[in-house]
């Protein structure tokens, strides 16, 4: 994959291997202190055997929206959709991919559209709280973008589950035109296996702190394969499911398989 990669909330235009000053201070800073060290080569992303499924499946690729361009990639969350991704960082990194047109402009006719980022928490009753605990609007840039919860906000809680969404605003006057990606996240102890923490592995790769086996390309390839396998399994189980659950399983399968395809498209994207 040669897709342009961006390592802060505002995104960098330089390739990841050329970025030398990751500690630069900006308004929305990326915290590298929370990124765990990965010292063992050859490790792959392996979701935990006791992994949980999201409460409500929402496509990791963009849904809705009316400002896409003609390229083959899509606005995509770089996170699991078939299961809840884990992190030990209490100020985690959230990442997504913004497509660009074949001509090199953004897929939004060359204009810079803002991204509305929101973070929600699940309550003690297991229900998603309606009000976001954090919200911010940031400018979009084509390629991989990452956003880190700023130090001005309270740290997230170990053992807690969260839901995040990023909306690419196409028309401020018509919210139905927005492109939306989202995923769930759980905060775990840093003693949990490193290979089970998707968000930490991706952050290390984005920061240039990972071995080749955990490069961004390989991580996204592994996630795409995991999503495809999960989506196919859901499609198969829907055939024997009770009528009341069949449609739900079919929809979940379609969304997860679409997410897998979007991830595969990103891997193949040219600069």
Biggest CA–CA distance in the chain, Å, is 56
Burial of 258 (0-12, 13-18, 19+ CB in 10 A): buried
- Report if residue 4 sits inside a domain: no
- Report if residue 190 sits inside a domain: yes
Collapsing DSSP to helix, strand or coil, 223 comes out as: helix
Rounded Cα distance between 144 and 4, Å, is: 6
Structural contact between residues 221 and 261, judged by C-beta atoms closer than 8 angstroms? no
- Report if residue 207 sits inside a domain: yes
Domain count, the chain: 1
Write down the pTM of the prediction.
0.78
* pLDDT tens by residue, 108-120: 454 578 999 999 9
**Does residue 145 or residue 243 have the better pLDDT?**
145
- Report if residue 239 sits inside a domain: yes
Which domain CATH number covers 217? 2.60.40.10
Per-residue pLDDT at 70:
52
Per-residue pLDDT at 105:
45
Structural contact between residues 121 and 160, judged by C-beta atoms closer than 8 angstroms? yes
Name which of 59, 182, 64 is nearest 116 in CA terms.
182
- Report if residue 3 sits inside a domain: no
- Report if residue 168 sits inside a domain: yes
- Report if residue 5 sits inside a domain: no
Domain of 263, in residue numbers: 16-268
Rounded Cα distance between 259 and 73, Å, is: 11
- Report if residue 69 sits inside a domain: yes
Can you read off the two tokens belonging to residue 196? 């089970």
């Amino acid at each position: 994959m040669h897709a342009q990669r961006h390592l802060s909330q505002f995104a960098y235009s330089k390739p990841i291997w050329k970025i030398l000053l990751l500690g630069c201070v900006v308004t929305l800073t990326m915290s590298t202190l929370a990124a765990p060290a990965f010292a063992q080569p050859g490790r792959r992303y392996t979701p935990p055997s006791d992994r949980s499924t999201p409460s409500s499946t929402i496509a990791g690729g963009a849904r809705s929206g009316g400002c896409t361009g003609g390229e083959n990639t899509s606005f995509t969350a770089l996170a699991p959709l078939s299961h809840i991704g884990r992190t030990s960082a209490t100020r985690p990194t959230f990442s997504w991919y913004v497509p660009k047109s074949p001509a090199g402009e953004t897929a939004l006719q060359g204009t810079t559209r803002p991204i509305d980022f929101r973070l929600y928490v699940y309550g003690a009753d297991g229900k998603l709280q309606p009000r976001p605990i954090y919200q911010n609007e940031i400018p979009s840039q084509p390629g991989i973008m990452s956003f880190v919860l700023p130090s001005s906000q309270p740290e997230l809680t170990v053992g807690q589950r969260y839901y995040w969404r990023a909306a690419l605003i196409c028309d401020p006057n018509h919210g139905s035109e927005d492109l939306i990606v989202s995923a769930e996240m759980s905060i775990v102890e840093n003693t949990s296996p490193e290979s089970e923490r998707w968000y930490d592995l991706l952050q290390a790769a984005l920061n240039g702190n990972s071995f080749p086996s955990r490069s961004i390309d390989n991580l996204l390839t592994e996630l795409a394969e995991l999503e495809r396998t999960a989506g196919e399994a859901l499609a198969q189980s829907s055939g024997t499911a009770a009528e009341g659950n069949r449609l739900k399983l079919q929809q979940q399968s379609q969304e997860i398989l679409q997410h897998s395809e979007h991830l595969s498209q990103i891997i193949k994207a040219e600069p």
